[in-house]
Chain A
Amino acid sequence: MTENNNILSSGKSASPLGQLDSTVLSILQSISDPEIPVLSIMDMGVVRSAVVENGMIKVQITPTYSGCPAMDVIGDDIKSALKKAGYTADVELVLSPAWTSDMINEEGRKALEKYGIAPPLDVISDKKALLGNEKIVKCTNCGSTNTKLVSQFGSTACKAQFQCNDCLEPFEYFKCLK
């Protein structure tokens, strides 16, 4: 429990990413979630806004789950990457509006699947997959939907564990959070 980066704000989210120059955006794009290294924090929807204020870049990030231990690391990574490029940055954690898995964009979903994590389904299918044991989550190895839920909770708060009945590969599923 360090206090780093965790200034709490009820989130009057400032103007979004538009007014930043492309260098800053590409730096932010190059930072990834330490637990899912293939996924950029931009594609994951964790960066809520980034604005320049008095020569300082103010970045707002939002956690996927409240207890996500990656947030401190992401905050530090943003600061050090921007510092390397000659910018001073301040990172603020905002909670509202709460992150949903819809904030993962198309690139992010593709990156997840390629990495072996099935991307989140829509909220109704998600419920069926996690509760009704319906076979809808696609195996990231062979593409079969003949898969089974092993556990609603996985190696991190955002994932559930699945196994493919056809190729037997175990894989993770990024839970729908809405």
Chain B
Amino acid sequence: MKENQYKYILLVADNSLILAQRLGELCGHGPNLETDIALTNISLDLFGQVRSYYQYAAKLMGNNATEDSIAFLRKEHEYRNVLLVEQPNTDFAYTIVRQFLFDMYHLLFLQELQKSKDLTLSAIAAKSVKEVSYHRRFSSDWIKRLGDGTEESNRRVQNAVDDLWVYTDELFHQTEDDIAMVKEGIGVDVTKLKNTYYEQVKSILEEAAIAIPETAYFQKGGKHGIHTEHLGYLLNDMQFMQRTYPNMEW
């Protein structure tokens, strides 16, 4: 029971950790000062949410687990994040499209998680939902601005949407832990979010003059620990200090 719950929390929280780390890479490298600050603000919100989830997971786990050991000392295949969030910051369009595709899901997800029978998870969700609605506002604004902007910005957003679209279906894929937690009234049934998600995403993309990719082929694996090659490099960066100087503290 607890094992399921622990794994479920990772399934939820790892998305935010990996995306936060990706956004953190842009600190000092954003296209302009305001965007740089915005992206790192979003990153900070996500890291904050992750801390709450991991502190709770560590408590459930016992065995001297801490938020830090969960964040820094797992191996690549032990991370449960979706493939979408580990995709690299290829250019600003990719960064924004990745953010948009995730934010749209994240908000729908948190709105449901607020109803969880697990009071800690529902409290974290209630806190996070306010922050994530700002994220969604930011990323969908940029989608419209770039998509409906110049020929060049439209082309780049279209490219990013075409490339990242294959990772969207995984958001609604259920693992065993998902199914077990939905039964307990703790988890969110993600399959029920799918239609709303695609409706909302498509309506914003259409407004942004971006064509919806027509593909029946989708990639998945992250939720089972099978990742794209990008995650290893990201973890290498993120875990460097703990691996090199074990047990170091800030």
- CB <8 Å contact, B34 and A1: no
Which chain B residues lie closer than 8 Å to A3 at the CB level?
A: 55, 66-68
Please tell me if B74 contacts chain A, counting CB pairs below 8 Å. no
Q: Pick from A6, A150, A151, A161: contact of B51, CB below 8 A.
A: A6
Which chain B residues lie closer than 8 Å to A175 at the CB level?
A: 134
- CB <8 Å contact, B137 and A96: no
The CA-CA distance from A10 to B55 in the complex, in Å, is 12
- CB <8 Å contact, B55 and A6: yes
Q: Pick from A6, A99, A131, A153: contact of B41, CB below 8 A.
A: A153
Please tell me if A67 contacts chain B, counting CB pairs below 8 Å. yes
Number of interface residues of B (CB under 8 A): 37
Which chain A residues lie closer than 8 Å to B185 at the CB level?
A: none
Which chain A residues lie closer than 8 Å to B127 at the CB level?
A: 63, 66, 95-96, 98-99
Which chain B residues lie closer than 8 Å to A99 at the CB level?
A: 127
Main secondary structure of the interface of B (DSSP, over half): helix
Given A2-B249, A3-B66, A177-B130, answer yes or no on A153-B52 (Cβ-Cβ < 8 Å): no
Please tell me if B49 contacts chain A, counting CB pairs below 8 Å. yes
The CA-CA distance from A130 to B137 in the complex, in Å, is 10
Please tell me if B46 contacts chain A, counting CB pairs below 8 Å. yes
Chain B's closest residue to A178 (CB) is B130
Chain B's closest residue to A151 (CB) is B34
Chain B's closest residue to A98 (CB) is B127
Q: How far is the CB of B74 from chain A (nearest CB, A)?
A: 14
Please tell me if A168 contacts chain B, counting CB pairs below 8 Å. no
**Contacts A11-B123, A96-B127 known; 16 new A-B pairs at CB < 8 A:** A8-B56, A63-B48, A65-B131, A66-B45, A66-B51, A66-B52, A66-B128, A66-B131, A67-B47, A100-B130, A151-B34, A152-B134, A153-B38, A155-B37, A156-B41, A157-B45
Residues in B lying within 8 Å of A, measured CB to CB: 34-35, 37-38, 41-42, 44-49, 51-52, 55-56, 59, 66-68, 71, 119-120, 122-124, 126-128, 130-131, 134, 137-138, 141, 249-250
Please tell me if A34 contacts chain B, counting CB pairs below 8 Å. no
Task: Output the residue of A9, A96, A130 with the most chain B CB within 10 A.
Answer: A96
Which chain B residues lie closer than 8 Å to A11 at the CB level?
A: 123
Q: Pick from A69, A95, A131, A154: contact of B52, CB below 8 A.
A: A95
Residues in A lying within 8 Å of B, measured CB to CB: 1-3, 6-11, 63, 65-69, 95-100, 130-131, 150-157, 161, 175, 177-178
- CB <8 Å contact, B46 and A67: yes
Which chain B residues lie closer than 8 Å to A7 at the CB level?
A: 55
Chain B's closest residue to A130 (CB) is B137
Which chain B residues lie closer than 8 Å to A157 at the CB level?
A: 41, 44-45, 131
Q: How far is the CB of A145 from chain B (nearest CB, A)?
A: 22
10 residue pairs bridging A and B, Cβ less than 8 Å apart = A6-B51, A10-B122, A67-B44, A67-B49, A95-B123, A130-B137, A150-B34, A151-B37, A154-B41, A157-B131
Q: How far is the CB of B96 from chain A (nearest CB, A)?
A: 14
The CA-CA distance from A1 to B67 in the complex, in Å, is 8
Chain A's closest residue to B71 (CB) is A1
Q: Pick from A1, A67, A151, A156: contact of B38, CB below 8 A.
A: A151
The CA-CA distance from A95 to B127 in the complex, in Å, is 7
Which chain B residues lie closer than 8 Å to A96 at the CB level?
A: 119, 122-123, 126-127
Q: How far is the CB of A101 from chain B (nearest CB, A)?
A: 10
Q: How far is the CB of A128 from chain B (nearest CB, A)?
A: 13
Which chain B residues lie closer than 8 Å to A67 at the CB level?
A: 44-49, 51
- CB <8 Å contact, B137 and A152: yes
Which chain A residues lie closer than 8 Å to B141 at the CB level?
A: 131
The CA-CA distance from A175 to B141 in the complex, in Å, is 18
- CB <8 Å contact, A98 and B137: no
- CB <8 Å contact, A98 and B123: yes
The CA-CA distance from A153 to B42 in the complex, in Å, is 9
Q: How far is the CB of A112 from chain B (nearest CB, A)?
A: 19
- CB <8 Å contact, B123 and A161: no
